[in-house]
Amino acid sequence: MSENQPFVVSRADEEPARLRARFQELGYLFFKRQVDARTCDRLLASLLAQTNGQVALDPDTGLPVLRGRPFVESDEDWDDIYPRIQSLEEFHSFFHGAPILELMRLVTGTDVFVYPMKMARISTPGKIGFETPPHQDAYSHHAGPTMAGIWVALHDISTPMGRVKVLPGSHKGGVRKVFTAEGVGGVQCEIYPGETTWHVSDSDRGDVLIFHSATVHRAEPNITGSTVRMSVDTRFCDYGAPVFFTNLEPHHGWRIEGLDWDRVYRDWHSSDYQYYWRDYPALF
């Protein structure tokens, strides 16, 4: 029987050594309202505009709502929408902005490499059983111990929408065995006996979760009637740490025909974040 406890909340103005020690102990750090609300609103609006009306902003609640049929990653509707999201310059540059980079450097204590693979999450209701199962990025991204994920809530997220939850301290056990499972990613990692307490909290717009590459994490199901949960995330590591080549493709570029960097960059106004990863010294 598993139980939930709230995230331990960290502050960016704490002593860096204290934050890094907490990260090594828990395998994650959770920051409240770290990204400006207006920045989140703009990015959310840009993402919604790519859905052709299937997901829209409810003017009364300010939350995304489903106007079309439910879908999950790799569905036909997802494959239609996602290349347009991936092509947004605003989406990719979001992770290179000061609020995000400062947190990354605070956690690592050094300069960082931001993975070119950026991810948008759209969790609609009506797809219970297809949510992301427990897994480790160390397996799915072939990542080393300095890699971490950084996740940002683009709107307020309450329990029924399906939240991200982590298994505290699970990174200390190394990379685990996996087996086939339903849901995003298609695999689930082993959960050891006695690992019954998960950390999870409702999120406000602009909240940030950073988690170790070996920290087990998962998504709860969206059990609302019409509300859609939307967030964005990417991965980063100490600059110079090894990065596996599959992380250099656009997210889902390996399976959606024509989703490559030429398409992603085609209508960008700036070249600042185009192909910045080509000269990275530790690709394998």
Rounded mean pLDDT of the chain?
97
The pLDDT value given to residue 29: 98
d(Cα 66, Cα 52) in Å, to the nearest integer? 11
Would residue 283 count as lying in a domain?
Answer: no
* β-bridge partners, 217: 135, 166
Per-residue pLDDT, averaged over 254-272, amounts to 97
Contact 149, 204 (CB under 8 A): no
The pLDDT value given to residue 49: 98
Would residue 237 count as lying in a domain?
Answer: yes
pLDDT confidence band for 84 (50 / 70 / 90): very high
Give the residue numbers spanning the domain of 161: 3-265
Provide CB contacts within 8 A for 107, sequence distance 6+: 19, 20, 23, 29, 148, 210
Would residue 162 count as lying in a domain?
Answer: yes
Q: Is the dihedral of CA 219, 40, 236, 150 positive or negative?
A: negative
d(Cα 62, Cα 252) in Å, to the nearest integer? 29
Would residue 85 count as lying in a domain?
Answer: yes
Q: Could you report the per-residue pLDDT of 146-178, keeping only the tens digit for each?
A: 999 999 999 999 999 999 999 999 999 999 999
List Cα–Cα distances, 17 to 24, 209, 234, in angstroms: 11, 18, 24
Contact 31, 20 (CB under 8 A): no
Would residue 278 count as lying in a domain?
Answer: no
Burial 52-63 (b: 16+ CB within 10 A, else e): eebbebeeeeeb
Is residue 194's pLDDT more than 80?
yes
Name which of 80, 212, 77 is nearest 139 in CA terms: 212
pLDDT confidence band for 275 (50 / 70 / 90): very high
Amino acid symbol at 26:
L
Q: How far is CA 57 from the centre of its chain?
A: 21
> With a threshold of 0.85, does the pTM exceed it?
yes
Contact 151, 163 (CB under 8 A): no
Per-residue pLDDT, averaged over 209-237, amounts to 98
Name which of 191, 198, 142 is nearest 165 in CA terms: 198
Q: Is the dihedral of CA 42, 261, 259, 149 positive or negative?
A: negative
CATH number of the domain encompassing residue 72: 2.60.120.620
Contact 184, 162 (CB under 8 A): no
Assigned token pair, 21: 């020690």
Would residue 271 count as lying in a domain?
Answer: no
d(Cα 68, Cα 62) in Å, to the nearest integer? 18
d(Cα 193, Cα 21) in Å, to the nearest integer? 25
d(Cα 34, Cα 160) in Å, to the nearest integer? 23
Domain count across the chain: 1
SS3 category, 246: helix
The pLDDT value given to residue 95: 98
The pLDDT value given to residue 188: 97
Would residue 280 count as lying in a domain?
Answer: no
Would residue 95 count as lying in a domain?
Answer: yes
The 10 Å Cβ neighbour count of residue 157 is: 25
